[in-house]
Structure 1
């Protein structure tokens, strides 16, 4: 890959529709790049000269996507994917920053593991990889991890991933500790006891197929528990991958009371519902499970209002064998890096989001939640950008995904809107 752009090879992107969630800018204009940073943003052509230019008439230009939940499988499960392979997939999806959950092997519960992953990320290049440190040692839920050391090592938050805690007191102490350090606790809201190892939404479909159900209460009770602790401690909590209408309503009520609570949703939850598992479709085996059509519609409405401020991929690549067993024995998860933007653009075409709101949910708000310098077209910021053709019509072929994981329920689906170019620190890392 080439080095970061210098003044000698500066770049001007001309006549693009600029979408900047930070300033609210939505207008045709020009964006100049020098030394890997944004040097000019405006509706008129800059007076300064640029060595190269791109005619982006008819294209949208927005900050590179910030994905709050993506598993790259390294370290520990390199038979499924690696940082190198998933970096390429992220770039193809217009993503310039990702947040990795701590459930790697070994778990991200020490600075040594953070440094190991960072080294591999730097070697791959072309993508900012951020990490959540473990909330408890080994994610076992028994003893708090050394959050201070993890923060010093560069972790942008802490999480216990999908694992439970020993008791309520552990949760209280975790929030107190995190609050003192200024760390956001990322919570996957699912009560393990109520989920009971289930694999499908509790309802007629699960009953008919004989699948062990996961009730809505598994999510709702977990959200209520953590909100109560937020009330007591004032700690910031981010709820990741909401799946229910009741869960979204609880988050909204907490936000209206001024509590420091945010939320995201996986893109596939805004389209797929529990009936999509009919025929034991293992590609639709996800956790949290696909819920009812009413839940999906409520999630969409919450995204539109900004209650759910971020859309993520919840990327979980798998090898083919992981999806070939009987449904309950298949591994949950979707390869979602390359469908995050297309699915969100579908919301735009369906008039659920405006283009600027899409930029906010994919870039601006996720960057704020992660606490990173991204998600804006502001002068002086790193030129991490994505150019989009909103009118390109194409069909997703699973074997064409750059991710090592081809496990997608959207194979054969038609999309309108596609990444044309991804720039990272001013240099092109993906070109359609």
Structure 2
């Protein structure tokens, strides 16, 4: 017997428009039937999951994670990072290319995606948009796409030169894939370690201005217009970890004009402000930095009104000794795969009234669509059997020490969470039980 039954749960599947009690039958890694409760009473399955009191949702998809392998496995490995993903209800992750060496060739991409790396969930990757992520020469997009690339990015660095970004959008647009941009004008951020504002002034730190993010977003939108008008190519821009109201306003306007612009917001940017840095807490240091309250509320408003396409964690593990240094010397980034659902439900669902369907959509169907993962992000018959089963009402506190990640650099250690993953299923196989 190869069947898996999931019984007595509340199915929330935004792609199918379902929010009702349903039982699911899985066979050979695919959903084969979705029926009203009791329909499978005569089915004898190899394994049964009783999902009573829980939400059964399409497995979450994170289009922005750093897994650090190859080259920095003291921070994270593909195996440990994807174990953390499974614990957070994520069944698919997309790895960024800032490894050592940079993932910018078909050979390095195939190495990363090889099952020998021990991924616990579905692993995809965005190779570097430019060779070595140096922002000068495009990598070989066609060859990388044939090897499995789902987009291109120099994440951690922007594609700064106009002519290079134009070529990236044009080349990727012809392939139907996204360029995922880290929107930071680094000509304005040298020596900066946090948001520009009152907290930076109090701490005596140089701050990143709103303009550093906004200029790149506005420039990229202008380039999209140009290539559509002049070259007849519809480019696909994805803006990573948006953190400022002004950048979000530019994205909203571009969408209204019909341009193909998508964007993500990270949980830390809709949960925290720069006040979380306190007295130089390096676990609250990331790039883009935590902003002020008006920016945080603007991210929530954009999540609620549909401007934001997905939630992405920007999971960025660092070893303890790397963070336990002076604030300005500490690396940017925090872990996030195990806290994303708990923060989304606590802040967006409970505090701001977002529906469960919208939360699930932001974490499953929408990100799967951005990177064209057909058959994922939904649970209709024929879809991959990737599921997140969670208790939406469970209240708990996150303990960083218990993380599945190699690293524990989270500003949410001890923070209250709402909603807890009870099981994660990838391709019909249970990979995590809570």
The TM-score range, normalised by the shorter chain, is: over 0.9
Shift of 1:125: 4.0
Q: Distance in 1 between matches of 2:116 and 2:364?
A: 22
**SS of residue paired to 2:268:** helix
* Structure 2 residue 6 is matched with structure 1 residue 13: yes
Q: Distance in 1 between matches of 2:271 and 2:3?
A: 41
Structure 2 unaligned residues grouped into runs of 5+: 228-233
* Structure 2 residue 186 is matched with structure 1 residue 192: yes
Match of 1:77 in 2: 72
Aligned ranges 1:37-186 → 2 under 5 Å: 37-46=30-39, 49-51=43-45, 52-119=47-114, 121-165=115-159, 167-186=161-180
**SS of residue paired to 1:194:** coil
Match of 2:324 in 1: 324
Shift of 1:390: 1.4
**TM-score normalised by length of structure 2:** 0.95
Match of 2:230 in 1: none
Q: Distance in 2 between matches of 1:410 and 1:260?
A: 34
**SS of residue paired to 1:336:** coil
Q: Distance in 2 between matches of 1:168 and 1:415?
A: 42
Aligned ranges 1:406-417 → 2 under 5 Å: 406-417=408-419
1:36-59 alpha-carbon deviations (Å, 9 max, x no partner): 110111334335614143322210
- Contact 2:158-2:181 within 8 A present in 1 as well: no
1:195-246 alpha-carbon deviations (Å, 9 max, x no partner): 2231111111101111111000011101000000111123010001000011
Q: Distance in 1 between matches of 2:307 and 2:417?
A: 26
Q: Distance in 1 between matches of 2:38 and 2:306?
A: 33
Q: Distance in 2 between matches of 1:304 and 1:220?
A: 21
- Contact 2:180-2:237 within 8 A present in 1 as well: yes
Shift of 1:126: 3.1
**TM-score normalised by length of structure 1:** 0.95
Match of 2:200 in 1: 206
Shift of 1:107: 1.1
* Structure 2 residue 36 is matched with structure 1 residue 35: no
Q: Distance in 2 between matches of 1:363 and 1:145?
A: 29
1:269-300 alpha-carbon deviations (Å, 9 max, x no partner): 11110111121111100100000101000101
Match of 1:3 in 2: none
Match of 1:5 in 2: none
Give RMSD over aligned pairs: 1.3
* Structure 2 residue 288 is matched with structure 1 residue 288: yes
Further displaced range: 304-313 or 360-369: 304-313
1:385-406 alpha-carbon deviations (Å, 9 max, x no partner): 0110112222111111110110
Q: Distance in 2 between matches of 1:300 and 1:197?
A: 29
Match of 1:339 in 2: 339
Match of 2:297 in 1: 297
- Contact 2:252-2:307 within 8 A present in 1 as well: yes
* Structure 2 residue 372 is matched with structure 1 residue 371: yes
1:66-113 alpha-carbon deviations (Å, 9 max, x no partner): 001111110111111111111211111111100111111111111110
Further displaced range: 190-199 or 232-241: 190-199
* Structure 2 residue 395 is matched with structure 1 residue 401: no
Match of 1:4 in 2: none
- Contact 2:74-2:406 within 8 A present in 1 as well: no
1:297-354 alpha-carbon deviations (Å, 9 max, x no partner): 0101101112111011110111101111111111111111111111112121224311
Q: Distance in 1 between matches of 2:130 and 2:423?
A: 40
1:356-398 alpha-carbon deviations (Å, 9 max, x no partner): 0011000010000111121101111111101101122221111
Q: Distance in 1 between matches of 2:29 and 2:117?
A: 19
Q: Distance in 1 between matches of 2:159 and 2:35?
A: 50
Q: 1:87 to 1:164 in 2, by over 3 A?
A: closer
- Contact 2:78-2:119 within 8 A present in 1 as well: no
